[in-house]
Amino acid sequence: MKQHQERYTLLCEHLTRRGIDVDAVKAKLKAQVIELPSWAVGNSGTRYGTFVDKGAAVTVWDRIDDCAEIQRCLGITPRMATHVCWDKTDDGNYIPVKQYAEEKGLQLGTLHPNTFSGQEFRFGSMCSPLEDVREQTRAHFEDCVRICRELDCKTIGMWVADGTNYPGQDHLRERKHRLYDGLKYLYDAMDEDMTLLLEYKPFEPFFYTTDVSDWGISHLMCTKLGERAKVLVDLGHHLPGVNVEHIIATLLDEGRLGGFHFNNHKYADDDLILGTVNPMEIYMIFKEIVDAETEGIPTAITYMLDQSHNIENSIEGIIYSVMNIQTAYAKALIIDRHALKESQTAHDTIMSNKLLMEAFETDVQPLIEQVRIELGLSCINPLLNYRSGGHQAHIEATRGAGALTLGGGC
């Protein structure tokens, strides 16, 4: 602890000399909230198979227990995002799930409808050319709104998996009309205090067209729907080379950035641990968000992890990801924005970039460790906290090793 205090004191002195309000930065870090996806703590895999971890969550009760343990270690993950197909009792009840989560100190966050898991979705859900499938999807949307009311959930995260595989398979403009009609049905059914987050993805599970393929389509639909519809950015849902932080800046300026699904990718939707491939990108995304907040632009954003832990321990992978989020956010908060504005005004390209890199290269761990102390965590290193806490040994001894099956519809 003495070593931590010395490092923290030196960092505070360094930041203060640069005109950074350390207490304000700590307040922002303490207020940060990252939603945990219930499905991420189970065994997940690829289309080629799943590597099964002993003790991985199988039931909804397991998932709540694991998310509560993650919150114990991190202190900024008090919400568990849910999926309508997977996070309910065997008899289809959601209330006991909410009650058990509250007993464990968790709230239930974003609710995710089902438009991809089920045989009926062979040709899509709301964009399907089959009227009976579209009607079934609309009925499902009504049920989702009912579940939101039961769970006191205010956010619906919509990933539209619809698309086509072959040229000529369907009428593309008609699919666009069906997409809007389906989203409008859900939007109109939602309560006035609910927000719709519309995700996008360039390909998969369909490979010729995807009905919500990029941020432009999502933004178009959200604009047509109304103010309670926002764009959801999944960091893995971009083709190689896309400048995601530029998209973020545009959506912020338009008032349409509503949420994030955090992960990392190298080629496509790799769903790797956040910050392991391109930590600079995460930093630059937070830089744009902090810039917007500083300039008075509203930033009511829902942050959530959405990763596939294929070879690593899922709980540790999640903890590590949130630690990387904290690091990127802290670095974005300590940018000397006054000096940056001066260098930009002077068209000093080199100095402008250097100021960003100085913040990025600053070791902010003493600051984050101090935040964890002030949050009352028992250990300043969340990974070591988890490994020494006994949870992994307990779940390996008490749970089976069966793979979590996330398919077959609701």
Cβ neighbors of 3 (< 8 A, separation 6 or more) are none
Verdict on whether the full-model pTM lies above 0.85: yes
For 15-49, how does the pLDDT look when each residue is reduced to its tens digit (9 = 90+)?
999 999 999 999 999 999 999 999 999 888 777 88
Q: d(Cα 221, Cα 219) in Å, to the nearest integer?
A: 5
Collapsing DSSP states into helix, strand and coil, what is residue 293? helix
Predicted local confidence at residue 400, as pLDDT: 73
- Best CA proximity match to 199, nearest among 119, 323, 81: 81
* Dihedral angle of Cα 287, 291, 294, 298, to the nearest 10 degrees: -100
Q: Could you give the CA distance from residue 276 to residue 270 in angstroms, rounded to a whole number?
A: 12
- Residue keyed to tokens 């499938």: 133
Nearest to 377 by CA among 319, 318, 290: 319
pLDDT in tens, 319-371: 999 999 999 999 999 999 999 999 999 999 999 999 999 999 999 999 999 99
pLDDT grade, residue 160 (50/70/90)?
Answer: very high
- Span between the terminal Cα atoms of the chain, in Å: 50
Distance CA 231, CA 214 (A): 10
Q: What are the chain's domains?
A: 33-335 (3.20.20.150)
Sorting pLDDT into bands at 50, 70 and 90, what band is 104?
A: very high
What is the rounded radius of gyration, in angstroms, for the C-alpha atoms of the chain? 22
